[in-house]
Chains A and B, each alone.
Chain A
Amino acid sequence: MRPADNVNDSIKKLQLKASADLDKRVHGGISIALAKSQGTEPAVTGPTILRFIAEGSVAKLAVAAAILIAFGIGFSTGRWSKPDHLAPHSLDVATYNSIALEYPTAPKAEGSFWRQKALAATQRRTYVDVRFTKTELLGTYKQHLKEKTL
């Protein structure tokens, strides 16, 4: 390949090494400056290492990525996890019965809707949320009445 075929590549190939004389001169200059500064310089007031890390774009990206990952994990955990469901047989029947004694009009039948609701009200909030949310209460009652008529 002639040099004219790719001048740019040829220019990139140009490479010199700094001479030992230049090394000596530059290092000598640095040493002199260092010797001068050691006696006269005040305490360093530049940015701290934490500030340096915080200013770095890589550090910013890492922090942003960590926040996103934490948010993602939190979201997916909250989205897919389900509250503990209490089995119907674990309802606190004894408590209901003791309350029902004080209120003679309280429904006594086992399958009574209001009995179930009252039993649910004595349970932990999670169960109540699952079984009788405000929007579903009417529908559940209608379903109960339908089943009763059948």
Chain B
Amino acid sequence: MMLEDRLLVWKFNRGDLGALRDVYEKYKDDLVTLAAALLTDVSSAEDVVHDVFVSFIKCSRTFKLTGSLKGYLVACVANRARTKNRSLQVRNRVLPDRTDTADPDSGNPEFAAVFGEELRQLSVALERLPYEQREVLILRSRGGMKFKAIAKQQDVSISTVQGRYRYALNKLRSMLNGEARE
């Protein structure tokens, strides 16, 4: 798998954009899922993945892979999602009508529905987590990133990241248990 990725990157470096298509086809679902879990919005998630690949095209000659390709793409998606989240927060502050009408407990109903009934509770609970905690939890559990790498991404210490992870898990558990009791 690693060798296959390296071969794709090698072709990509030589200007073969067909290799980029293969990379996209290979990782698109994982990346969209990751971005959607981070942003709790599918259309924003797709925008993020699109932007990642568009910027990836531009660096075809200069791109140099040092770790795993999936890890690189996950980091790119996380960075873009963080930026997107900031801009969405700013927009929500400027246009408060969007949030006033929505029920804060139900979150984004579209997002809750996309993962199916079985995971509906989880997606609703994920939405209620603070972004930093959600990011750590998703990057760790879904993206398979190490705490050290996440800490580097968020520009905080490893202990802070571990704390966020612990808080996120506890909050999710309490939210899910609360809903289960109801």
Contacts and interface: CB of A to CB of B under 8 A. Distances in A.
A25 B37 CA distance: 21
Interface of A is mostly: helix
A29 B10 contact: no
Given A14-B33, A15-B29, A21-B46, A8 B114 contact: no
B46 A14 contact: no
A146 interface: no
Interface residues of A, number: 34
B114 A2 contact: no
A44 B14 contact: yes
A12 B118 CA distance: 13
A73 B15 CA distance: 44
B19 to A, nearest CB: 10
Contacts of B53: 26, 29-30
Interface string A82-109: 0000000000000000000000000000
A16 B172 contact: no
A44 B46 contact: no
A14 B37 contact: yes
A11 B33 CA distance: 10
B20 to A, nearest CB: 6
Interface stretch (A33-41, A121-129, A133-141): A33-41
A21 B33 CA distance: 15
Contact of B33 (A15, A19, A22, A41): A15
Contacts of A26: 24, 28, 49-50, 53-54
B149 interface: no
Nearest to B142: A11
Interface stretch (B77-85, B99-107, B119-127): B119-127
Contacts of B3: 56, 58
Contact of B57 (A8, A11, A33, A47): A33
Interface of A: 2-4, 7-8, 10-19, 21-23, 25-27, 29-30, 33-34, 37, 41, 44, 46-47, 49, 52, 56, 58
Closest 6 CB pairs of A and B: A4-B176, A18-B28, A11-B141, A16-B33, A33-B57, A22-B46
Given A18-B31, A18-B46, A30-B57, 11 more contacts: A3-B176, A4-B176, A12-B142, A16-B29, A16-B45, A16-B115, A26-B54, A30-B17, A37-B15, A37-B60, A52-B10
